């Protein structure tokens, strides 16, 4: 290995030396009769490839965890915040669904980064059983907004049918970032119940929240209302414009059937 590295260093040094000398000779050759130099390709030895044994795989996770393994997962929870957080996440992912009960404990631990990384790990494991706990985190008013928003995002990806209570509560939150997250994630929930929630946010005092609600409603229903200049709109204007969405809802809500009816992936275009 040392000889190999030394050979590579010499090759690189030799190439740099030829390049330096050739530039000087070419520059000198413009005013003198000195011969011009030409660059040539130096011999190159590729680095050694890592050894790999065919058929070699990682040790699979056990079907059930013994008491020692369960204690080990609990001791890994504090490591979700720090220099070893990526390694800890990998350990939890390796044990898959067995890690979920332990990660749910992390959602109540001190340190927002521990809670954030626990949510991120749950998103990798993809176990829908974690959704109720994630909804609880998303609805906590004392929780940091980035943790609440991430909890709703992950819960929506795991099972959108369980997040409607979180969307409804977060859509009325005093924090505009939380309201925006709620109506943005609502576009992934193809359920009738989210439509009036979204309409209720269209008159939002914050322009970007209102526009997010408008766009989510269009994605779900293909209804966009009349043409309005949303970029210079005022809360009073948006309050007035929202009446168009309520009118559309009154005319079309029966089209979705029961309260639990799903919204078609490609809803029919209705007259606007």
Whole-angstrom distance, CA of residue 246 vs CA of residue 68: 58
Q: What is the pLDDT of residue 267?
A: 56
* pTM, to two decimals: 0.74
User: pLDDT tier at 49 (50, 70, 90 boundaries)?
Assistant: low
Q: What is the pLDDT of residue 150?
A: 97
Alpha helices in the chain (DSSP H): 2-29, 67-76, 85-95, 100-106, 112-125, 131-138, 145-158, 164-170, 176-186, 194-201, 207-221, 235-252
Q: What is the pLDDT of residue 40?
A: 67
Write the CA distances from 230 to 74, 197, 224, integer angstroms: 50, 20, 12
The structure tokens listed for 238 are 């948006």
For the stretch 180-202, pLDDT in tens is 999 999 999 999 999 999 999 99
Q: What is the pLDDT of residue 171?
A: 97
- Which comes out higher in pLDDT, residue 230 or 179? 179
Whole-angstrom distance, CA of residue 172 vs CA of residue 174: 7
Mean pLDDT of 14-26: 53
User: Has residue 9 got a pLDDT over 70?
Assistant: no
Q: What is the pLDDT of residue 59?
A: 65
Least confident of 26-30, 58-62, 175-179: 26-30
- Which comes out higher in pLDDT, residue 175 or 11? 175
Whole-angstrom distance, CA of residue 142 vs CA of residue 77: 22
Q: What is the pLDDT of residue 64?
A: 80
Q: What is the pLDDT of residue 272?
A: 42
The greatest distance separating any two alpha carbons of the chain, rounded to the nearest whole angstrom, comes to 93
Distance, C-alpha 98 to centroid of its chain? 23
């Amino acid at each position: 290995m040392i000889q190999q590295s030394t050979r590579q260093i010499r090759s690189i040094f030799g190439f740099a030396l030829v390049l330096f000398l050739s530039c000087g000779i070419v520059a000198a050759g413009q005013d003198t009769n000195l011969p011009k130099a030409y660059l040539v390709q130096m011999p190159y030895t590729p680095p050694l490839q890592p050894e790999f044994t065919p058929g070699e795989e990682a040790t699979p996770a056990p079907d059930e965890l013994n008491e020692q393994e369960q204690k080990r997962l609990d001791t890994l929870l504090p490591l979700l915040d720090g220099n070893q957080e990526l390694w800890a996440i990998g350990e939890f992912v390796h044990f898959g669904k067995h890690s979920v009960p332990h990660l749910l404990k992390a959602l109540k631990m001190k340190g927002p980064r521990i809670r954030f990384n626990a949510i991120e790990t749950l998103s990798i494991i993809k176990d829908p059983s974690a959704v109720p706990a994630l909804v609880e985190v998303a609805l906590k008013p004392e929780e940091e907004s980035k943790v609440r928003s991430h909890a709703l995002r992950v819960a929506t990806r795991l099972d959108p049918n369980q997040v409607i209570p979180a969307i409804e509560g977060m859509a009325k939150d005093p924090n505009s970032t939380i309201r925006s997250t709620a109506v943005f994630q609502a576009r992934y929930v193809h359920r009738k119940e989210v439509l009036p929630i979204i309409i209720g946010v269209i008159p939002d005092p914050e322009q970007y929240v209102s526009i997010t609600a408008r766009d989510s409603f269009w994605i779900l229903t293909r209804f966009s209302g009349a043409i309005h200049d949303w970029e210079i709109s005022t809360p009073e204007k948006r309050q007035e414009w929202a009446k168009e969405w309520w009118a559309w809802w009154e005319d079309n809500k029966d089209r979705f059937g029961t309260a639990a009816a799903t919204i078609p992936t490609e809803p029919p275009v209705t007259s606007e």
